[in-house]
Chains A and B, each alone.
Chain A
Amino acid sequence: MSQPFRTEKGGRIDRTAELTFTFDGEEMHGYAGDTLASALLANGVHLVGRSFKYHRPRGILTAGSEEPNALVGVYRNGDQTPNIRATQVELYQGLQVISQNRFPSLGFDIGAVNDLLSPLFPAGFYYKTFMWPKAFWDRVYEPIIRSAAGLGKPPKNPDHDTYGNLYAHCDVLIAGSGPSGLAAALAAAETGASVILCDEQAEFGGSLLSENSATIDGKDPAVWVSETVARLEAMDNVTLLRRTTAFGYFAYNFVALAERVTEHLPDPDPRLPRERLWQVRAKEVVIAAGAIERPMVFPENDRPGILLADAGRTYLNRYGVKVGHRVLVATACDTAWQAAFDLADHGVDVVAIADLRESPPESLVAIAAARGIRVETGCVVTGTLGRNRIRAALLGRLMTSGKVASGGQVDCDALLMSGGWTPTVSLFSQSRGKVVWDSEAGAFVPGTSVQKERSTGAANGLYGLQATLADGYAAGEGAARAATGKSATISHSRATGGEAGNGGILGALPHDRNAARVKAFVDFQNDVTAKDVKLAVREGMQSIEHIKRYTTTGMATDQGRLSNMNALQIASGALEKPLTDVGLTTFRQPFTPTTFGLFAGVSRGDFFDPVRKTPSHDWVVDHGGLFEDVGQWKRAWYFPKDGEDMHAAVERECRIVRKSVGLFDASTLGKIEVVGPDAAEFLERMYTNPWKKLAPGRCRYGLLLNDAGYITDDGVIGRLADDRFHVTTTTGGAPSVFATMEDYLQTEWPDLDVWITSTTDQYAVAAIQGPKAREVIAPFIEGIDLSAEALPHMSVREATFCGIPCRLFRISFTGELGFEINVPRRHGKMMWDTLAGEIEKHDGTAYGTEAMHVLRAEKGYIIVGQDTDGTVTPQDAGMSWAIGKKKFDFVGKRGLERPDLKAENRKQLVGLLTRDPKVKLEEGAQVTRLEQPPIGTPAEGHVTSSYFSPALERTIALAVVKNGHALVGQTLYVPMPEGSIPVEVTGTVFYDKEGARLNV
């Protein structure tokens, strides 16, 4: 059970609970309370991955969610999830992890040749290298980029996890549970305000969990944390969310949280979701996100074994892990000295503290001297040695000239670095606040609040334990008062020790190496070096936003939390502009990578989109019918019999409808009830046709335009009474027609006394079409005379169907004698089954949408959205007859008078007949005047509908063609790859031009 880098005692791990895990198949051990990162380090493993572009060996750099290097694949339930940060994976028994971006193995990686070829991969290489020749894209560049792009491998199977979602409201939401977050939570909760406290880590406490050189109220900080959390847990008005990242701050204090529910458990309850999305609307938000340490930018600063100093201290104090046995500490600020002291106290050989500053504080130097630690001041690291792990570092001495003199080499197996601290302003920036430069803190800090939020503690550029505690109490009290008006007096805990340090450095450090040959990394995950940033400026990038995109610095998953400040300083130097004039890029949601599953929630599979079924659905399934998706509807498409293909089935259905009778489910058509004294006047204004003189009991085809004059919908409208109309719309247009009617009614003509109600789902509709239609329905209809004299074409009656009240329309979308029966939806199945049984007695058939399309095309009935495209006027469609010429106004009337809509050369709807009756045109094919038009010739129009017509025993088509109405009888061409197809322009009605079959 060798964990050679484990301390003898200490840390928050449970040494009685040893756990086994595998990394790239090798079995290792750790303890409950470890993260994968701390357990790997305890086993002496630093090398955990290969970098993105150069495939350089990389190790664990941080102890938090900003980790850029240690991205691993985690196996669960037989599948692998890539790109999980090892610093956030909690160790459990049997955890299986693989490293990424290496071939064939982590230690020996062929892709590392990229590192030697690095002159080929300068900043902006995506834009340069893959430009030319064009033909290389498909065969060479894209395969290379695809195989090289990204880290890790995508999972092979659909996501086997489930995801939860809930909405929450609270008075005060606190993001972060370090000293200021916990103090804020206490202060707010004691006022009685409802509080949500969330933290991305498994335990509350933040930096307090690794702080052992300070006390709070005389206690160990970790003890204060557990007492405080227990106090909060006991309060009904507090919700505590561990493992929960506030990843998005949106408008009106809407904050999205991602709670990781089961990923840390070896064997979770299968009913639990993997993650849960909290959509929180908070009256006030307290951002207590803390600060993170900055890497130092020196040559070869990316070698495994090099960590941030505070991460080294966290691994030691919180997890009982020594990052090395011989550790060099390189710093530009005070705080890293404590890491050196803590390591020395655990028996680690701190080979030196190399401080860039000429004179660090005397007090620290004295403590180092007492522990016998070598101190180098005015000293920088100028390089590191070692293959897959650091084995030595080169030191350099800063000269007054600004140059660097060699300061020798020190052997070490780990290097802790600190360039100072950067407040985590991501959430503040997402809330649309602008950061301001605080020269005292040497950092960008939150400026004026734009939303109801306040940043506290280190996130606000404030350091030192007592100061952050006090600031947290004040923030919690202030937020609660602002949210509820209430306040409370509570005693404030006091901290001793943990003082704020000084110092810090931005940008690339000077060195004595050959600048052309060394790499000093700024953005570790995207492999961006200091040189790349300078090159971007030389190549003309002026704005930090352009530099960011050109180099990809700050575009990795940490969004530049580690790299931005160093990149900014380097750009500022290259641009010869003050840093504050260069400006910081904006942080965007999400704060850390967030799974797609979390956003999708339950909206997947059957729940992705609601399915609307018609009353005939089960019957269609039982009778072998196929379905077509029309929006959310499942509509019967065709009913193949005895091995028929689609063509044969549709042809048979069409023939039977014209010969005897067909049954069609028309329930999906939109239906709107228009009622009131001004109902006729309202329809008069909405539709092109006249309505006032339509007698009750009669129907009329209605054409709906928009105010530009273009056709947007159509349908038959029946008048049931003076003040009541039954309007039908297209299946797809139902919601928009209803919304348009409401819009005009409410905002343009509020004086009209009309009510409109969507009744699409209230009625089931069966269409019975064909010469025997009357005989089919007669046995079931009572209360009205069905004879042609009493019920002519385009009539509507209220009657009963099998005793159920119904609305009976005599209308046709096939050109045959036809009826549409509307019954209340709950009787739809009864009606369908009754009629389906009856048509069999008349050698009839059920038919689907495909036959319906053919039958209507034979009659030249348009389908809005297929034969029209939003630029077709009634005149273009040959439907001027639908316009009420004497009307004062209707929607679209004035639009039709615009010069462009009356101009020559408009595309008009015509019929096309191919010279060869067997050739069927492609819908969407272009129509030309010349048989062989020269390349570049604009088309005269295109084919909108094309079918084989059983009634005509030949193919037919509809098309929109320039000046088409004047071209009837002429020959045009439809050029296709196999050759040009000659077509004759005709009228749009192909069958029963006189309409004799309708009036029987």
Chain B
Amino acid sequence: MNQRLPINSDSKSEHLLHRLYALQQQCLHISPEAIRQVANEFNLPVSQITAVVAFYAFFYQQPCGRYHILFSNCTSCGYLADGENLLLQFSQHLDVAPGKTRLDGLVSLGETSCIGLCDHGAAMLINGLPIIELDANRIEQIAQLIITETPLTNWPTEWFQVNDIVHKQGLMLSENFTVGSSLKRALASSADDLLAIIEESALCGRGGAGFNTAKKWRICQQASGSAHYVVCNADEGEPGTFKDRLLLRSHVEAMFEGMALCAYIIGAEKGFIYLRGEYRYLLPHLQAVLDQYRQLGLLGNHICGDVAFNFDIEIIVGAGAYICGEESALIESLEGKPGIPRVRPPFPVTHGYLGQPTVVNNVETFIAAAQIVLHGSDWFRSVGTEQSTGSKILSVSGDCQLPGIYEYPFGISVQQVLHDCEAKEVQAVQIGGPAGRLIGKEDFNRRISFEDLSTGGSLLIFGKHRDLLTINRNFAHFFAHESCGFCTPCRVGTKLLKNNLDKIADGRGTQQDVVEIKQLSDLIQRHSHCGLGHTAANHMLDSLQHFPQAIEDLTQQVFAPPFALDEAIKDACRITHRDDAVARLK
């Protein structure tokens, strides 16, 4: 059927998301005419293009400014992280309202979910490029450069300098990886022997869910289809996670080889890297290494002279949608559609990209696989626990002296991490990002592992001075913004939860609100369609359980209206020019 036709990257020179990005760059937005034009070019229904443009946060249907600013709103790299409102300051300097483009078209301002720069202070994206270590002073300087329309190339380069801040190297990060070493070793063995090595290592997925990697690859290998695909999930959308950023910058060779050996095992000729739009600035580096691999005969046709082994990798850049980290939504996006999670089962490993058997793994998982082939499964199992073998790379940020990357053997206690990153007076830790778990002091002796506290890599630290309700509110806003909108409990429920917390923060919290929040959280968690909804209320339920005081203190009233009365009649007052005492309700 026509509207279901996926964008087959083999027959089309350009991916739909890339075409739309190019148009957006050119015209600073995607107009209805542009949508009709693209629909023509791709021979797709106008409605599909419209739906795609409307789905992704980085596509705009109204013109952006020549300088387009997106502040991160993450609890670690966000504009409120240091206690002052940097977005508001920026907005005042340049006289541009949040969410709007200034009338002269010079500048537009918005906010976006975590951009993975939590170890670099408050951060923003300006025309897609990251600026780090924001403070009042830098905001003022940025405003000046914009007013004088100074090209970004003339801005201080150190502002854009994203570094690898590695505080602790473990099993994987301490290895020096030689280009081609893992792949050459792999091709000397049979696919079955290789799979046996991965199996013995007991490697499990590093992206969060922790599924056994060898098992996934074996199911895919055995699934029948006209083609098999390898997909690397580099969407890294979970707030507080930035370890894939490091891996993509400095260890991407091993990742390509991990993908290639997966292809060798499952019989794939085509691989994709789904790179989050927030990391677009990593693209030149990734392309350069890809080219190097092709030149060395490590990718492309007849890899390492093996006439039967052809495999190449294409990078697809996302456009601002957390849900596209969910593997089936990711595949929908690869197919040029909105990122709406599919019904699972069938799982991607049998029915993935274009309905064909597809392995989706995290960046770190592919790197681990390449290292295991090189050093053996015993090397890998030498650290970790019985059920969680090997090491885990953590992104540590929040209230600590040494935010950055830490690699630990699985089984490390939260306490040890807090000690190493010099976190003092810690009130709570969010493990695994907003979708993970919020724990308090009594649980700091728990261990990071699949069997205890599982994490895709995010560890957010909240000091004594933090108001936890503000944190919950931040997370609630995140999920309401990122819900794909497909199913009722998540679409409406996350918004209700957000409204409820806003109401409490506004001083209108009642005892009934706590009951409501609990019921709503249970409903979203239990009845949603996908993992986003299943985890969207974790932080709230944990907060109610471990830190009931934080919310109870603010919900003492017996009744308060669901909306702020004066706010609700504001427009009417303005229109009727009424500002007298009688026109105010409070």
Bound pair (A, B): no
User: B residues engaging A (CB < 8 A)?
Assistant: none
User: A residues engaging B (CB < 8 A)?
Assistant: none
